[in-house]
Structure 1
C-alpha cells in the first residue's frame, strides 16, 4: 500500500466544483467523480471530513450586493451548503462509503447537529463527516468553516479542491497570461498580496493554529489521493516556509 502523508484531513470543496462545466446547480457526473476520489482516500485508512461551499446555488455576498439584508443572504447560503452536502452524502453512500452530515443550523430531519466529539467519533469509525451550514453564523465564509473545523477536529491539513485552477497564482491566470504559479507560499503572503486563496479570517485561523493548506485542481481525477500521498501537486500554503 502506498504510504500516506496524512491520516486526518479536511477536504474543502467549492460549490462551483460541484457545478462542473454547467456553472450552476449540481452536475451528477462531477459529484460522482468526487465521491469516487474520496472513496480512494478512505480505502487508504484516512479519516476524511468535508466542507462544501454553496456558490453553485446561492452566494450570500451577491445577494447582499443587490440590497438584501446580509445576514439573511448568508443564511440562504448556508442552506445551499446543506443541499450540496446531502447530494454528496448520497453519492458517497452509493459508492459504499458510510457518511454523516452534521449541520451548524439545527435541522434534525436531514442532518445531525454539529457536535465536535461526535464528529471525531464518526471519523474514528471511518465514516466521512460532511460539515454543512457553515459556522452557523452570518458574515463567515465556508473557507473559515474549513479552518475552524480543521482546528476543532485536529486535522493535519486542509485540502482545498478548486474547480478551474490548479494552485495559487500571483494573479488570476484566466485574466493574466503573466501570472506565476507558486509551489509554496505562506499565509502571511496570501494575506499581504491578496492572493485570493481564502479570505483573511480563514487564513489567519490557519496561520494561528499551524494548519497547512494544499490547493489543487479537483477536475483531474485522482488528485485527492495524490495530495494525501504527499505528491507535489498544486500549491502548499504554510504558516512559515
Structure 2
C-alpha cells in the first residue's frame, strides 16, 4: 500500500502545481478570521488592524484622526461595529483590488435603522430598516451580485451566514468598506451584528472554488446548511490559489 499512497501524493502535488499556473490572478488577496488571533487591538479591545494569513492584505480602520469616529471592538462573537459610544469606523482593505468577497456574519435582528455590511462607491450591502422579514436592500445593492449561503436570496437569516459579493469591476481596496457606511458618522449605519471572517479574491473564482470556500467557512464557523464541497480537484485548486483550509478537508478526502 505504501507505494500506491506515494503515487497518489505525487499526483496531488502535480495537480497543485498545474492549477497554480492556471489562474494565479484569481488568488486570495486576503483571508482573515477572528478565531486565529489575527485581530490587533489596543488595551481596551478596540480594533487597530485585522491581519491576514500568509502576508495577504490586512483590514484597517477606514477613518482615523477624526473625533466623530470611534473604532470597532473585538468581542467573543466577532468584530462588533455597533458598540455604544462614537460611531465605529468601518474597515478598509489594504489589497490593490478585490473582485469577490466572502464574509461570515452574525446579525443582530431586528435593525431599527439601515445597517451597512459592505460598501463601495455607489452601492452597498445593507440591511433594510424595519423590513419584515429582514432583507438586504436590493436598491442599495444595485450593480452588485449578492448571495446568501450560496443562493441569490435577499433574506437575512437570524443566524450566522455567509455573504458572497461580486463587484461589476474589481474595486480598489481603499474604496472597499466592511462594517458600516463611511460617508458620515452622524448617519450611524454600522453593521448590527458581528463579522467573523473575510475572504477576498482579486478575480472572481470558479464555482467549484466558491463551493469549497463556502464549505470551509460553514464548517469552521458554524453556519447551518448544505455546504458540500465540489470535490478533490476544487479543494486542490482553492489551496493553489492561496486559500488556507487549516487541514479541514482530510487526507482521505484527497485520496479517495
Give the shorter-chain TM-score range: 0.3 to 0.5
Higher share of residues assigned helix: 1
Find the structure with the greater CA-based Rg: 2
Higher share of residues assigned strand: 2
